[in-house]
Amino acid sequence: MSARAQRRARLLAQMAAGAVAVLPTAPEVARNSDSDYPYRHDSYFYYLTGFTEPEAVVVLAAASGATPARAILFCRQKNLDREIWDGYRYGPEAAREAFGFDEAYAIETLDEQMATLLCDAPALYYPLGGKLDARVAGWLAAVRAKSRTGVTPPASTVDLLPLLDEMRLLKDADEQAIMRRAADISAAAHIRAMRAARVGVHEYELEAELLYEFRRNGAQAPAYTSIVATGANACVLHYSANNAQTRDGDLVLIDAGCELDGYASDITRTFPANGKFSEPQKRLYELVLAAQAAALQAIAPGLPYSGAHEAAVKVLAQGMLDFGLLQGTLEEVIANKTYLQFYMHGTGHWLGMDVHDVGQYRDVTQADKPSRALRPGMVVTVEPGIYVRPAEGVPEEYWNIGIRIEDDVLVTADGHAILSANAPKTVAEIEALMRHD
C-alpha cells in the first residue's frame, strides 16, 4: 500500500461508519488576460492523493457493515485536443490505476454521484466554511428530494481539516526525506547567493541566484516569495520589493527556501555585503546565533513547543540590556515585553507542505490549552532575530541592523536534527565563504 493510500486508510478509520468525506483541490487562478498563475495544487488534497491536476475532487466512503471503504477520484476526462495546448491529462482510468484509487470518474459527474453517495450516510466530512458549502447544500437537497424512497441525508457535517491537520503534523519517513533534500537545495542556494554578493549588487540579482539554484536542482518553485533585504530593508519582516542596491557596510538578510515535490524549506541567513562583519554587526549577529543555540536545546520529544521561543527571548533580552538597547532588569524586560521593540515575532512555526504548516500549537484537549508537547516527526523552524530601527535612546552604531538566522529542524526520537545544517551560519564560516581573494 502506498503512503498516500495509507493516509486515506488512516483518515477513514477516524470517520463514522458509512460516513463520506469530500475534498477538492485548488482552482486555477487567472493572472491577467488569458494567462494563469502557475498552478499549485491544494496541500490537503495532494497529501491524500499525490494528484496534481486541477479540477479534481477526492471522495472517501467509510466502511459500513459488509460494505468496504472506497476511495474515489473525480478528475478531468482525457482530451487530446486540450493536451495539445495544455499538456498531458491522466483521465479517470489512468489516474485510478496510477494513484491507487478504487474508482475514478469524470469531474462532470460529481454532483450526480454525490447525490447517490450521500444517501443514508450518517455524516459528511468536508472543509466547512469554504467554497464547497453551496455545492454541498445542493447535494443534500438532492438527497432530501428522494425522501419518499426511504433514504435520508447525512444528519451532521464535520470539518474535515482538523483531522488532516493532526495527521500532517507528523511527517513520515518519505516526507522527511523530501524535506531533507529541499533543505539541502535551499542551503546550496544560500551559499550561491553569499558567493555572488558584492557591494553594489542589487537584491534582485541575489534573488536570481537563489531561483537558479532551486530550479537546477529539481525544485519546482520557491516555497514563498523570497526576501532579499539589504541595510535598513532587513528591518522589514516581510520585505519583498527586492530592488535595492547593496552598499558598503550593509548586512544582507535572505529568507528563502524552495518547494520540492510539494514540501517547503525555509532558511534565513544574514551576511555582510562586503564580506566582513563590523564589530557592532558581529556583536548582534553572535547574540542571535546564541539565542538560536538556546532555542535548539529546547527542542526534543516531550518538551513544550513554546520552550524554544522562551529560551531565545531570554538570551536576546539579556543581550539587548548588555548592548544598551534596553534599560532595566532581565525580569522586567521579559515581563513588560519591552524586548518587542527589537524582536517582535515568534521563534518558529510548523513546516511541511505549507511554509507555515497546519497543526495546533496548543493542546486544545486540556482546559488551560498549554503549549503542546513536541513529538518525533514534527518539523519546526527556529528563527530568532533582532531588528534595530533608528530611535531615541538606541545606540546609533546599531541603527538599521536587521538579523535573522533560521533553520529547519526535525524532532527525532532522541532530540532533533537540523535539516538545513549545510547553510553556513557562524561568523567565521560566512566570512571565509565570502572571501574574494
Q: Does residue 379 contact residue 411 with C-beta atoms inside 8 Å?
A: yes
The residues annotated as belonging to the active site are 34, 238, 255, 266, 345, 349, 356, 383, 387, 404, 406
Alpha carbon distance 74, 103 (integer Å):
9
Alpha carbon distance 143, 141 (integer Å):
5
Cell 542556494, located at residue: 189
Terminal Cα distance for the chain, rounded? 55
Which residues, listed in sequence order, are joined to residue 221 by a DSSP beta bridge? 259
CB-based contacts of 412, cutoff 8 Å, min separation 6: 301, 376
Alpha carbon distance 305, 416 (integer Å):
13
Grid cell of 361 as nine digits:
500549537
Alpha carbon distance 406, 198 (integer Å):
23
Taken as a whole, the chain contains a residue count of 437
- Walk across the sheet containing 221-222 and list its strands: 221-222, 258-260, 263-264
Q: Does residue 144 contact residue 120 with C-beta atoms inside 8 Å?
A: no
Alpha carbon distance 363, 155 (integer Å):
29
Q: Does residue 59 contact residue 21 with C-beta atoms inside 8 Å?
A: yes
CB-based contacts of 45, cutoff 8 Å, min separation 6: 23, 24, 25, 26, 51, 56, 58
